[in-house]
Amino acid sequence: MGRITVDEQRCKGCGLCINVCPKKILKLSEDKLNDKGYSFMVCFNMDECIGCAGCAMMCPDIAIEVER
């Protein structure tokens, strides 16, 4: 069981975290942009997060925090 927090303003929507997540519970925002104009990553099923931290390790912008 884990939980992630995304810094929406740091995220540039590259999608690396989305591809690496083994639970496939991440996606890009569809109707919201951050202040820089990027779609940002959102987790749509936090109950499934296992806290593996793969997403955080992959993020080039250090936008994800993981709690276990």
Q: Which residues bind ligand SF4 (CB under 6 A)?
A: 2, 4, 6, 11-17, 20-23, 25-26, 41, 43, 49-55, 58-59, 61, 63-64, 66
Q: List, in sequence order, every residue forming a beta bridge with 10; answer none if it has no partner.
A: none
Least separation in angstroms between CB 40 and ligand SF4: 6
Least separation in angstroms between CB 37 and ligand SF4: 14
Rank residues 30 and 55 by Cβ distance to ligand SF4 and give the closer one. Answer: 55
Question: Which structure tokens are listed for 33?
Answer: 């942009």
Among left, alpha and beta (phi > 0; psi -120 to 50; other), residue 11 is beta
Count other Cβ atoms within 10 Å, centred on residue 16.
Answer: 16
